[in-house]
Structure 1
């Protein structure tokens, strides 16, 4: 017997099948949802009130004999809406992703957002769903899928419904990669370094929302010969012109939104004119936006701009901001935070990171990302609180361990395939969050096998993630909440401390080079991992040296002068020493987790040398052209009958002479076309010379003599809560 409280109750039990029938009672005389729980654990939603759990429901009488079911976990969307002043960022649950099924609470929450897509044909009005997917820096679906190194944004894009009548999806390649629709047919270094091309990508996504409304409005009345492009408001060429021309939406440097607002006002008039006779009328657009890295920054900017540009009205349709799902937001637009004079919030990222009103927002943050060029833009508003309906989770791993983008085998991780990538955990969690929010993602049992396989999680990863989570929870008795900063930063620093502890645990040469990941890496990855380890050892050595007592000479009259010793240790250096001294406390499960699943983003982040296949091709071609010019000048000098001119030609030829690394590149290309030799820190000077004056100056400003950022893992990630 129990006293009534709103919630789920088991109302009947079938002893022969062991199935349970459950209902959600809003009060003792009405229920608003009904669910069948099979003996296998499968949960089938039988009925729900379209108005949600607060709707009128069905009349019945609650019985004290009904068994109450457990409340949803703390932080669940249904029973405890996230966000607001009292919300704290969370750690992800340690349960199995491979076996996860929606809870009763999640099923009821999904029922409340269901729009019964495809069942509105008899109505004079309809609602549609649009998904925008902004990929991360140097992530590109067409380029990456063959190598199975595509990001989580791509996987979610492929899972989104796209019937081009009620549901629409649009993919935006990452900055620095080819995107011909905005006039970028090839990769660009400026996109990778400074996020150039971000503005055009954002505008392109915004325009597709107008196209979706137009197409959905007139498709039913169009002739069978009407092309798909003609059903939209704007053709592909018109969109390219709009997003690239300074007479259109493009700006030299974004100083205001006035031009964008005026252009969209004109487009709204064109849209209304084109759909004025169309029936049924589109009355609501449910917009869901996803992004990773700079793509997450683009997603946040897109949501701000589309609110301003449309005034929340697209044609006759109300714009509903349904869901924002973002992985590890990094802006770094213009001069990144790694430079002495920039913080990465220039141009289109200036003042655009604030998260406005949404039905739901989920942000997954990388706990073990420490690169200076990858500062986090938290979802938090200032240092105090989060926007309403916003959740932020701190996941173990580096940047692309959360948003995806590492290929199987990279740095000796996931050697058996994508199911072993750590990014599969946040991918599956984001899928659930999006489904719970009503995003039109396909159920997994309706996906094609090749897309379903992208969600697979190996049992070994499932188990290892749970072991790490358990160790983290135990270690958090050190009390993250008592840290000096906001809880997001405290949690990230706590994970960083554990990572330092592990690196100290495996820091002798034999142990490090005997790790699973090291022995399963290729030659370049082994070089990167080892040189990154040497950077870390220097961090530790500096921290230990700074922690040594200083030698003091006492003079006449009791005065003291420091005569020997380094400057006093910083708090950061003291913490490094503390974690190094605690290396023996690292469990076997945690050590295996770091070894097999967490990538070394410092080691793999090259500031010099070609990264992608396109860059390697261009790199080799440039060296061949340089060699050809050198040889041509020498031939011309040898053939000249004028000694003075011959000497001058030989002096000019010296500027085209190949350095040691460039000669190795040509030798390697002759042996294996299209490949380059292993790059080492000892090649940094040659690589800087090859890159030119601007890159050499930038490396000097950063203060690094290697191929990577200065120092190693001994630092905390910078976190911004405003832009």
Structure 2
């Protein structure tokens, strides 16, 4: 299959809720029509009327993305938006009842949809509060990801039980107990099938087999509970009410760490289904509850693992030991796309944070069969969404209809439906339809930018290199010392003070970064000829700087189409992302910090005034008692420093007067220079860099511009 830059988008995307607009006549009749026959329950007194298929949809949200929390800011992720148009029964208590499917729900009793909130957000079903230390660990290291995968596996079992017996097999309390007994990692997945006759036993195999044994217990309970509904060798069941199930079709979606979870979940679900088939003595197929399972589609938005210690640590000693693929998220097993699974992976063209390396679905740049990897302009959350309408001044529509993230949403929606996923936007509620609307101006702006791009197919590296170059050139044209600085742009003017503070502070850091880069380049001398990077995008900034130096002084300024696109549609993911603790990444926390700053400022002023009076009085009494020239002078009073700095002190005072966030400097981003303020993390993580991309192995980084053949990497 193909790796490519996204193609020009048709204006029909602005009417995604209309089947006649978003799909061609042939697609509606030949493709969707065929899938709909599988979805419908036959009616009448014929034998066919007693047979049906089940449809399961699993939706893994990204870090800090949470359907309920997003209600206030209208910043639902694209995974949550896709969940809205998958019909059928929801998992009880996860989401409010007002999110349930409404349209002819009696016709979708054989459809089940499962939503999994992102790590670093509340998910009480697994005991994750999404606050305090759990939130910090979730955001930094993916804490809670394994529990979410296991919970989803148990819901697949519950779905079958719910279809036949109208209640789950496993209660919420029992589910939480199971979460504490099962570990998901590569060693345990290997043992989901018994060892072959002469296979050597590995250390810890006895301990690692416990995961399989736990799954066997649960599956045996399922088989016993639905025994009268399970098919015999001829496909018939003793009890045909509500129906005889022919096949279970499964679709899976994920964004960011949710995409990582989706990939691991797919592999574990296949292992569980293979185990079920062995228990049911069915060879050559995968089953669940004895029913054959087929996987329709895997839809991924910008996979970022960062599980455990990740690429945040760069080239430090720890950074070389850990790469964000800990536990359940290893690259060469759990994150691989199994053969034959249709998959679409949308990749963010302009994400550059060191903490957000990409895990390509390719293996040494070769895509698995039936898989596509499409590069989409924008940063991480411009693909998966999560930005609020108007955030950073991007967008004017209060409902977010002019946001760039709507385009990858609809692109994924189309691909999924054409692959057989039973998404039904045309029958979803009006709120769900509103969340799919995209303005024609946004489509026009993207297409105008795409027309300037030269590399459209080939290696992921070649496409990403051009996109990275385009972004750096745009940013250079908006540096503070340019004639058209970022601060003079219309989008900056529209932004809130909170966003302006981050954007301006980050732009000031970029200016310092440029000065350091140009000083390094000048130090190379006039005879220096920069070379493209060799294989393996590493974290060594000098290699990346040399790559940038190949075009820094010769590349033309970006045109109006590029300037408009980045100015008004692409967010700055580094500006708001605060790696260093106690630096708020949202307005609510910033207001709390300003309250603390103002309180501290006032306390220190009061303390200094009181202490100054006391010392002055003591000085007066000393002089009176000993005489003015006695030499018994007290030390002058030294005022206590509030440690806010001039800018922080001014900001705190202004906040105290207005109650609003003032213009001020912010910090705490991934540092572009090493310092103890960054806890010793490796530096050079600013804007003059490329994104790190893994290709199926921890040690394989995509950088070669040569397209390898399958024979070369076999």
Does the pair score TM above 0.5? Answer: yes
- Cα distance, 1:254 vs structure 2: 7.7
Given candidates 447, 467, 470, the residue that maps to 2:428 is 447
Contact kept in structure 2, 1:413 and 1:596, CA below 8 Å: yes
Query: What does 1:76-95 align with in structure 2 at a 5 Å threshold?
Result: 83=1, 87-95=2-10
- Cα distance, 1:571 vs structure 2: 5.8
Unaligned 5+ segments in structure 2 are 16-20, 89-104, 190-208, 230-239, 275-285, 528-539, 609-639, 698-714
Show CA shifts across 1:561-582 (max 9, x none).
xxxxxxx995643443454445
Is 1:533 the counterpart of 2:507? The answer is yes
Task: Give 1 or 2: higher strand fraction.
Answer: 1
SS at match of 1:171: strand
Show CA shifts across 1:228-279 (max 9, x none).
xxx1111222222222x2xx2257x885343332222111111111112343
Contact kept in structure 2, 1:153 and 1:290, CA below 8 Å: yes
- Cα distance, 1:714 vs structure 2: 0.8
Given candidates 587, 592, 597, the residue that maps to 2:564 is 592
Question: Which residue of structure 2 aligns with residue 522 of structure 1?
Answer: 496
RCO greater where, 1 or 2, for CA within 8 Å and sep 6 or more?
2
Show CA shifts across 1:549-603 (max 9, x none).
75699xxxxxxxxxxxxxx995643443454445644221221011000111111
Q: Which sits farther off after the overlay, 414-423 or 290-299?
A: 414-423
Contact kept in structure 2, 1:150 and 1:404, CA below 8 Å: yes
Whole-Å separation in 1 of the counterparts to 2:83 and 2:686: 35
Given candidates 390, 406, 412, the residue that maps to 2:393 is 412
Contact kept in structure 1, 2:597 and 2:644, CA below 8 Å: no
Is 1:464 the counterpart of 2:445? The answer is yes
Whole-Å separation in 1 of the counterparts to 2:163 and 2:604: 60
Whole-Å separation in 1 of the counterparts to 2:652 and 2:187: 46
- Cα distance, 1:380 vs structure 2: 0.4
Given candidates 59, 66, 80, the residue that maps to 1:133 is 59
Given candidates 670, 677, 680, the residue that maps to 1:701 is 680
Question: Which residue of structure 2 aligns with residue 492 of structure 1?
Answer: 464
Question: Which residue of structure 2 aligns with residue 267 of structure 1?
Answer: 218
Q: Which sits farther off after the overlay, 540-549 or 141-150?
A: 540-549
Cα-Cα RMSD: 3.6
Query: What does 1:161-200 align with in structure 2 at a 5 Å threshold?
Result: 161-162=87-88, 163=105, 165-187=109-131, 188-200=135-147
Unaligned 5+ segments in structure 1 are 1-82, 220-230, 482-486, 554-567, 635-655, 689-694, 705-709
- Cα distance, 1:302 vs structure 2: 0.3
Whole-Å separation in 1 of the counterparts to 2:658 and 2:224: 60
- Cα distance, 1:305 vs structure 2: 0.9
Whole-Å separation in 2 of the counterparts to 1:657 and 1:547: 41
Is 1:344 the counterpart of 2:265? The answer is no
Question: Which residue of structure 2 aligns with residue 511 of structure 1?
Answer: 484
Contact kept in structure 2, 1:98 and 1:459, CA below 8 Å: yes
Question: Which residue of structure 2 aligns with residue 98 of structure 1?
Answer: 14
Given candidates 336, 358, 373, the residue that maps to 2:355 is 373
Whole-Å separation in 2 of the counterparts to 1:357 and 1:349: 18
Whole-Å separation in 2 of the counterparts to 1:569 and 1:319: 48
Query: What does 1:550-629 align with in structure 2 at a 5 Å threshold?
Result: 572-577=544-549, 579-581=551-553, 584-608=556-580, 609-612=583-586
Distance 1:234 1:660, change over 3 A: same
- Cα distance, 1:488 vs structure 2: 0.7
- Cα distance, 1:665 vs structure 2: 9.0
Given candidates 295, 299, 302, the residue that maps to 1:321 is 295
Distance 1:667 1:141, change over 3 A: farther
SS at match of 1:123: helix
- Cα distance, 1:142 vs structure 2: 0.4
Whole-Å separation in 1 of the counterparts to 2:259 and 2:654: 38
Question: Which residue of structure 2 aligns with residue 310 of structure 1?
Answer: 273
Contact kept in structure 2, 1:141 and 1:173, CA below 8 Å: yes
- Cα distance, 1:200 vs structure 2: 0.4
Is 1:680 the counterpart of 2:665? The answer is yes
- Cα distance, 1:400 vs structure 2: 0.4
Show CA shifts across 1:529-561 (max 9, x none).
2232233333433443333375699xxxxxxxx
- Cα distance, 1:291 vs structure 2: 0.4
Whole-Å separation in 2 of the counterparts to 1:131 and 1:124: 23
Instruction: Give the TM-score, by structure 1 length.
Output: 0.71
SS at match of 1:322: strand
